Structure 1
Amino acid sequence: MEHRPGRRRGIAAIVLLVLGAVILGGVTVAKAVDPPSRYTRGEQVGWTMTPTYTNGEGLYLEPVAEGGPRRGDVVLAAVPWSMKKTQMNRVVAVGGDRIQYKVSSKVAGQYRLVLNGTPLDEPYLEQWRNPSTVPFNVKVPKGYVFLMADNRLNSDGSQFANNGPVPVAAVTAKVVAYPMAKLAVWGQLAGLLVLLAGGVLAFVARRARGRAPRPVVLPVQAQGSVAEAERAAGDGDDVPRPAGPADERADVPS
């Protein structure tokens, strides 16, 4: 059986369109589902963690992993410089680290904190050229963490002499991006790409069907006439021929 041009592409387009719709629908349902019990919903208050977290932005909290927080973690901790019970900060150094900053010095043309003798890369800062408003040189004791907010121009932290490092026991939770939120973003992107691919295939299949030559179908009477003509041409040897002059001479008596 001969397939029409573009038939396979059309089938593939339908499959992709249905698959894309299923993915988008599944992601929508997944986003509406509450997170597992290990996650706690929270909300950033204030602008001390901008641009990482802005005022009123929703976030998720989870218990601190065994071994305590690590460098770079954003945590919720009871800090002495806040009137609130807890405040969000970033772990810049842990027990045993030496963290320091000199206002008069630059590293590669930019101001940087120095962690254990190495310039610290902090792409999350609100102001790259202002990693701290005060100089400091601190050796973090074991069992403590050195906390600073991301908006260094408008926040308090361990860099101030009257604050200092915070005990690990004061860290109550770690701020995380709920995995389903990341999955939802990738799922939506995948669903849109699948739908786009299905739409392109459907367009190509339609163009292929439009360009395909259509078979010429003769009317029934015309088909019969052609068949009779072919039979007549094949039987031409049996048709009686008119008598010629030679035949007439053959019948004259001698």
Structure 2
Amino acid sequence: MEHRPGRGRGIAAIVLLVLGAVILVGVTVAKAVAPPSRYTQGKAVGWHMAPTYTDGESIYLEPVAKGALRRGDVVLASVPWSLHKTQMNRVIAVGGDRIRYKPSSKITGQYRLVLNGLPLDEPYLEQWKNPSAVGFDVTVPKGYVFLMADNRMNSDGSQYANNGPVPASKVASKVVTYPMAKLAVWGQLAGVLVLAVGAAFGFASRRARGRAPRAAVPAPARAPEALKPAAPAEAAAAGERADVPS
């Protein structure tokens, strides 16, 4: 079966135009329903969050809504153990949690913190590092967070008795891998790009159809002279000649 010229590009154009419209409209509606938080860009200071973040590494910061802090979040907070205005730390426990550690005990083959009675998995720590240089047993008050750095052997944190949990109100912002506001912009640009490519395919398909040569329509076959029916006058004359005796 012979396809029309430009048919494949026409199908690609339809698919891309629909996909681009879905992406663009979807991202725009999502931004309108739940506007992404404004973000700022900064740099990590010091090595207390190594190996996750190293000194001078670029970071993205988003504001934290009240009550939105979660265990494992990396935050920028005003802490009593830092000489700087704010410092990066990780939220290990939130209000109501019991967090403890005994340096002399081993759990499942390696040292671990114990959160609410269960060993805490901390994949962001290097395997050879202990989770704390000191032992502690703390129940975090409501409205507070228990903060520790990732470089536990070379940093301060809530694990030390003279520090303790930090009020959640002291958390200035959350460190994110990539801000949602930036992702939304890239999503909209991707939708526009897909639409443009689809329009280009559509244009190419129309040009291909316009340039295609039209098939010649064959003329109807002419009947042989011998098979043509005789005209009425000719038929009558032939009959008269046949009646005359020779």
Give the TM-score normalised by the residue count of structure 2. 0.63
Structure 1 residues not aligned, in runs of 5+: 28-34
Structure 2 partner of 1:235: 228
Structure 2 partner of 1:30: none
Residue pair 1:49, 1:151 contacting (<8 A) in 2 also: yes
Shift of 1:148: 0.7
Distance 1:251 1:100 in 2: 138
Identity %: 49
Q: How does 1:1-254 map to 2 (within 5 A)?
A: 5=4, 7-15=6-14, 16=16, 20=20, 39=38, 41-43=40-42, 44-54=44-54, 55-65=56-66, 67=67, 69-123=69-123, 125-142=124-141, 143-169=143-169, 171-177=170-176, 178-184=179-185, 194=194, 215=215, 223=219, 227=221, 229-230=222-223, 232=225, 234-235=227-228, 251-252=245-246
Distance 2:114 2:226 in 1: 103
Distance 1:96 1:140 in 2: 7
Match of 2:109, SS state, is: coil
Match of 1:230, SS state, is: coil
Structure 2 residues not aligned, in runs of 5+: 28-34
Task: String of CA shifts for 1:16-72, please: whole Å, max 9, x gaps.
Answer: 269759979xx9xxxxxxx97x6352413233334544433131231441x474433
The verdict on how the C-alpha distance between 1:216 and 1:251 changes in structure 2, with shifts beyond 3 A counting, is same
Task: String of CA shifts for 1:100-133, please: whole Å, max 9, x gaps.
Answer: 223444433343211011111223x141453524
The verdict on how the C-alpha distance between 1:179 and 1:51 changes in structure 2, with shifts beyond 3 A counting, is farther
Distance 1:144 1:189 in 2: 41
Residue pair 2:149, 2:155 contacting (<8 A) in 1 also: yes
Distance 1:72 1:84 in 2: 22
Distance 1:90 1:78 in 2: 13
Shift of 1:175: 0.8
Match of 1:11, SS state, is: helix
Structure 2 partner of 1:31: none
Structure 1 partner of 2:30: none
Shift of 1:232: 3.2
Residue pair 2:94, 2:146 contacting (<8 A) in 1 also: yes
Letter in 1 for 2:77: A
Letter in 1 for 2:245: D
Shift of 1:235: 0.8
From the CA coordinates, give the structure whose radius of gyration is larger. 1
Distance 1:235 1:80 in 2: 114
Residue pair 1:68, 1:168 contacting (<8 A) in 2 also: no
Task: String of CA shifts for 1:195-240, please: whole Å, max 9, x gaps.
Answer: 8x969x89xx8xxx9xx9x94666xxxx4xx64x3263641566x8
Letter in 2 for 1:97: D
Letter in 2 for 1:73: D
Task: Name the Cα RMSD after superposition.
Answer: 4.6
Letter in 2 for 1:90: R
Letter in 2 for 1:232: E
The verdict on how the C-alpha distance between 1:161 and 1:49 changes in structure 2, with shifts beyond 3 A counting, is same
Letter in 1 for 2:4: P
Distance 1:106 1:191 in 2: 56
